Amino acid sequence: MRLLAVDKKRGWLRLAITNNIDLINLYRLVGKDDVVFQETTREVKKERATGAVDSERVSLKIGLSVEKKSADPLMKRVRFQGRIIFAEKDLDILKKYHTIQVGRGDVIEIESREKLPFFLKLVEDGGREIEQKIVAVSVDDEELAVALISGEGVRLLKSWRRSPASKRVGLRVEGEQEEVFDELVQLLKELAREERVKIALLGIDVHVDELGREIRRRDIGLHGLVKRRITTNIGGMDGLREALRRGALGEELKPLADAILVESALTAIVRSPEKVYMGLEEVAEACRKKRCQLVLAEEEFLWQNLENSTVNEVLSMAEKGLIDLRIILSSSEAADKLRSFGGIVCLSKRD
């Protein structure tokens, strides 16, 4: 969530929604009688002197007083419904009903003196995260994979399967391997031009060594972006998942920190199961009794339960700073593991 403008006296702010978790927070915080503004379109009908009716869709900025809200977990969108109280064009639409729909990448304005401090805290917390990305290149004798790790998750960009013939010659640059390395370096150069990235090489030692030499031979400047070299027991995407589980890539980006936190929770479940609460009811009860140090909730679990009163009770405690809540990004191994324990767990406070 990125703050574009704010008027504290009015209780107004303009926000750019940058990820799905922002949408969850937006849905939670915007309530009845708050005012939301957005550039939108509205169908306007005009009656001619002949009695014929024409209609056209007009672009304009409107503001509506929120009466209802809804969420679409499948499309990852939230909707606010209410009567229009502001329109920048005189189209005779005041007091008419309208729906504002918000998704990732959209800009929205909110007027709410009550919730302004909570929005500003979310923006402040998000601003502490370093806006950088890691390109992980993972290799062994069967697969070479390139993945982009950012605050939004882990995304596979490209992978190459090794043929039996190329496996016998290792990573010596012969024939098809020459083309693979050329394609890899070209992809990394494009990413370096478009993104603020660091490169991490990981996999089986001998293959990582060869990979580094081939990148350096083709582009010494690109090789300078290689900041980490990590040994794993396997390459490809499986090797990347291993590195995430071990915390070998660090934790300055959300997917990395998510993986470390979930692995810590799993360790606690094995070693001290009495100190871990699993499932919504157990977690909510621990939070009520102030036994909870950290709550881990899977993103998809929250999407599916935004209307659940118990979930809202836990999220309200997090808003007020009574508990520490971490939302784990969906479509990750960490999220899959958390889902197996009911989608939400709580680590109890230390004695």
Q: Which of 222, 246, 270 is where one domain is finished?
A: 246
Edge-to-edge order in the sheet of strand 276-278: 276-278, 344-348, 292-298, 324-328
Going by C-alpha positions, the residue among 224, 236, 257 that lies closest to residue 326 is 257
In a domain, 145, yes or no: yes
Together in a domain, 10 and 122: yes
The whole-angstrom separation of Cα 108 and Cα 211 is 45
pLDDT, mean of residues 31-55: 80
Q: Which of 246, 273, 289 is where one domain is finished?
A: 246
Contact criterion met (CB below 8 Å) for 105 and 17: yes
In a domain, 254, yes or no: no
Q: What angle do CA 3, 322, 13 make, to 5 degrees?
A: 15
% residues pLDDT > 90 (the chain): 58
DSSP string covering 78-131, please? EEEEEEEEEESS-SS-TT-EEEEEEETT-EEEEE-TTTHHHHHHHHHHHHTS--
Total number of domains in the chain: 3
In a domain, 256, yes or no: no
In a domain, 160, yes or no: yes
What pLDDT is stored for residue 171 in this prediction? Answer: 47
DSSP string covering 38-78, please? EEEEEEEEEE-TTS-EEEEEEEEEEEEEEEEEEEETTTTEE
Beta carbons within 8 Å of 78's beta carbon, 6+ residues apart: 23, 26, 27, 69, 70, 71, 72, 101, 102
CATH code of the domain covering residue 6: 2.30.30.870
Q: What is the pLDDT of residues 310-344, one digit of tens each?
A: 999 999 898 888 899 999 988 888 999 999 999 99
In a domain, 252, yes or no: no
What pLDDT is stored for residue 52 in this prediction? Answer: 72
Together in a domain, 171 and 223: yes
pLDDT, mean of residues 124-132: 62
Q: Which domain holds residue 74?
A: 2-127
Together in a domain, 35 and 116: yes
Together in a domain, 227 and 316: no
Going by C-alpha positions, the residue among 201, 212, 92 that lies closest to residue 147 is 201
Together in a domain, 62 and 21: yes
Together in a domain, 295 and 335: yes
Going by C-alpha positions, the residue among 308, 316, 336, 333 that lies closest to residue 73 is 308
What pLDDT is stored for residue 167 in this prediction? Answer: 46
Among 25-34, 155-164, 270-279, which stretch is predicted with the lowest mean pLDDT? 155-164
Together in a domain, 202 and 300: no
In a domain, 241, yes or no: yes
Question: 350 falls in which pLDDT band (50, 70, 90)?
Answer: low
Q: Is the dihedral of CA 43, 44, 50, 51 positive or negative?
A: positive
Angle of helix 280-288 relative to helix 309-319, nearest 10 degrees, comes to 40
Q: Which of 95, 127, 159 is where one domain is finished?
A: 127
CATH code of the domain covering residue 223: 3.30.420.60
By DSSP bridging, strand 226-231 and strand 197-203 are parallel
**Position 27 pLDDT exceeds 90:** yes
Together in a domain, 119 and 154: no
Edge-to-edge order in the sheet of strand 12-16: 2-7, 12-16, 107-111, 35-47, 53-72, 77-87, 97-103
Together in a domain, 273 and 302: yes
pTM exceeds 0.85: no
In a domain, 321, yes or no: yes
Q: Is the dihedral of CA 268, 269, 275, 279 positive or negative?
A: positive
Together in a domain, 11 and 33: yes
Beta bridge partners of 98: 82
Question: 49 falls in which pLDDT band (50, 70, 90)?
Answer: low
Together in a domain, 279 and 165: no
CATH code of the domain covering residue 273: 3.30.1330.30
Q: How far does CA 170 lie from the centroid of its chain?
A: 37
In a domain, 289, yes or no: yes
